[in-house]
Amino acid sequence: MKLNINVTEFIFLGLTQDPSRKNIVFAIFLFFYIGTLAGNLLIIATIKTSQALGSPMYFFLFYLSLSDTCFSTTVAPRTIADSLLKEASITFNECIIQVFTFHLFGSLEIFILVLMAVDRYVAICKPLHYMTIMNHRVCGVLVAVVCVGSCVHSLVQIFLALSLPFCGPNEIDHYFCDLQPLLKLACSDTYMINLLLVSNSGTLCTLSFLMLMVSYVIILYSLRNHSAEGRRKALFTCVSHIIVVILFFVPCIFIYTRPATTFPMDKMISVFYTICTPFLNPLIYTLRNAEVKNAMRKLWIKRILDDK
């Protein structure tokens, strides 16, 4: 691939250029990032150490927390550091790496959410065959497949980014590197790249969201044949998943299905799914899941006793 690149670094305009507001950005991002790390790492440690959380649902939850942690880390630490600088810059190579890792872990989270919906469908609609269908080998293969799929998706983003010539200006009207803000800086017609972006990221988000919504409609419909206690427990779990799906996918669909047009609110919407959702996920899964809370309580008690 022949590259036509004169720009060697980009300047982030960030969420704001006002020094006092930058301090607010620093405090908010730091709070959410620390909360994301604490919550997701606690879930990871709890699932790894608790024998009670050995079902496929928690196997997938482990990888969701892992992808949440990595996804937030691709954006938050640099944004926190940049908010302390008068002028935030990033080299071209670092920008490309950020595009790759951002889409790698973002698409991985999407695929894991789909696997969790499949798991709940089998558990509720095929309860007698659940452990046979969703055995450990099958779950491991599914995770391996979605990891490969995430890599393919991210490589497409890199291919699209490297096909763009950058010869100035070099100011990115965003707080992290992504393909949409980079398109505005390209020194060529980006119509085809826009179409490819919609067919890649936009289609991935939209189809995954529709699949998830349809699967949960089927699951909720099938609950009519269950006992009152079974309906309550299954509904409790499904509602948690639906909340996570809506919080993550609606902002993503808004951003990635119309890349040719940008709005002033785009950066704030990006904040929601890059920073807020990874922070909220562990809260939703722990506060609405008695098994996870009990396992965390036992882990905490065990650590206290070991320290004594």
- 304 vs 55: which has the higher pLDDT: 55
**Proportion of the chain above pLDDT 70, given as a percent:** 93
Length of the chain, please? 308
Nearest Cα neighbor of 284 from 221, 238, 232, 218 is 238
Q: How far apart are alpha carbons 96 and 101 in whole angstroms? A: 9
Reported as a single tens digit per residue, the pLDDT across 270-300 is: 888 899 889 988 888 776 677 777 777 777 7
| Count of beta carbons in the 10 Å neighbourhood of residue 78 | 19
Regarding beta strands 88-91 and 171-172, do their DSSP bridges make them parallel or antiparallel, or are they unpaired? unpaired
Reported as a single tens digit per residue, the pLDDT across 40-55 is: 998 898 888 887 788 8
Least confident of 13-17, 61-65, 188-192, 270-274: 188-192
Q: How far apart are alpha carbons 81 and 70 in whole angstroms? A: 17
Q: Provide the phi-psi class of 171: left if phi over 0, else alpha when psi is between -120 and 50, else beta.
A: beta
| Count of beta carbons in the 10 Å neighbourhood of residue 206 | 16
- 223 vs 66: which has the higher pLDDT: 66
Peptide bond into 181 cis (omega under 30): no
Statement: residue 206 has pLDDT above 50: yes
DSSP 184-251: TT-SS--HHHHHHHIIIIIHHHHHHHHHHHHHHHHHHHHGGGS-HHHHHHHHHHHHHHHHHHHHHHHH
- Class at the top of the CATH hierarchy for domain 9-307: mainly alpha
Least confident of 28-32, 57-61, 162-166, 221-225: 221-225
Reported as a single tens digit per residue, the pLDDT across 107-162 is: 999 999 999 888 988 888 888 888 889 999 999 999 999 999 999 999 999 998 88
